[in-house]
Amino acid sequence: MSTGTIKRDSFSLWFKKNIIKYRFFHLLALPGIIYFILFKYVPILGLSIAFKDYNGMGGIEGIINAPWVGLDNFRDLFSSPSFFKLLRNTLVISLMRLFWGFPMPIIFALMLNEVRKKRFKNIVQTITYMPHFLSWVIVSGLAVMLLSPSSGPLVPLFDFFHIKPINFLGSTDTFRGVLVASSIWKDLGWGTIIYLAAISGISQDQYEAARIEGASRFQKTRYITLPSIKFVITIFFILRVGKIINENFEQIFNMYSPVVYSVSDVFETYIYRRGIIGADYSFTTAAGLFKSFVSLALVIITNKVAKLLGEDGIW
């Protein structure tokens, strides 16, 4: 029997064992695969305009025939007066979200895990999870109404204490705080469910043994629950760090205004204004490629640091 025949037989056996046998699972995954191919991988071909002078005309043919300019678009990006302001705003907002927002689902999940009344626990989970399904357009509209300095529900409170109404969304001192608070409120329930799912997989024998030994609830949380879910925490932390340079465009775009550009304008909003509205496609593609490179580098570095500290990384 020839080598080619052996390879064909091996491939046929593998195909029957893995593809045909689990064909319905592959069909379920097919829409997701098609989505990622069309909207994540095919657009990679367009990254070539970051190294070209593309004027947006001519479609695919225009991209192919656009003159090469090398790294000129990246030089323009790094020498732009807005670059360091965008980098500062992006890092500050992301680090604020990481510092305040990342621990909140963990803390909330640990608190819910200690609730003994299942009905109350389910109600709280449902209420906190509901905002996750709201778009940022709706959440931003609620924030505008609630925080309005002229007609919001906080106005009577300000009047009672004889305080001048604060324009939270129009002040450079408070705008970032609103961003962080609203993002925590919206995503708290989603993160909590993930951590609760990880907690539910912990063997109850460990808790029973700790109870017999006289451990308090806090000690069981510290020495059993947290160590048991640290893998999940590590994975989410690595992914969260990878998104530091990719701010939440929808939230900021629906909440900010020119008054607070100095503290809220990030790479994604700048790319939208200059790339979509200003039609400077090559420059903004270079900015987007820079963001993607930084995100990849952050994920790799954070994963490496996690492994050096003895934790399990993504790979």
pLDDT, residue 103, reads 92
Q: Average pLDDT for residues 266-284, to the nearest whole number?
A: 87
**pLDDT at site 5:** 56
pLDDT at 11 over 70: no
Six-digit token string for 253? 């775009």
Domain boundaries, the chain: 79-308
Residue 139 token pair: 């959440």
- What's the rounded Cα separation, in Å, for the pair 189 and 133? 10
Q: What is the pLDDT of residue 6?
A: 52
Q: Hey, is 266 helix, strand or coil?
A: coil
pLDDT of residue 2: 53
| Model pLDDT, residue 315 | 72
CA angle 88, 89, 93 (to 5 degrees): 120
**Residue 210 pLDDT exceeds 70:** yes
Q: What is the pLDDT of residue 105?
A: 92
State the burial class of residue 25 (Cβ atoms within 10 Å of its Cβ: 0-12, 13-18, 19+): exposed
pLDDT at 153 over 70: yes
- Averaged pLDDT, 16-34: 81
Superfamily grouping for domain 79-308:
MetI-like (1.10.3720.10)
Is pLDDT above 70 for 32? yes
Tell me which DSSP letter residue 40 carries.
I
pLDDT at 34 over 90: yes
CA atoms within 13 A of residue 119's CA, in its CB half-sphere: 0
How many DSSP H helices and E strands does the chain contain? 17, 0
Query: What does the mean pLDDT of the chain come to?
Result: 85
Would the pLDDT of 181 be above 70?
A: yes
Cβ(131)–Cβ(139) below 8 Å? yes
**Rounded-to-integer distance, Cα 134 and Cα 140, Å:** 10
Asked if residue 66 has pLDDT above 70, the reply is yes
Q: What is the tens place of the pLDDT at every residue in 163-180? A: 888 888 888 889 999 999
pLDDT at residue 313 greater than cutoff 80:
no
Helix locations, the chain, DSSP H:
3-14, 23-36, 59-65, 72-79, 83-101, 103-113, 118-129, 136-146, 155-160, 175-200, 204-212, 217-220, 226-242, 249-255, 261-264, 267-271, 281-308
Amino acid at 268: E
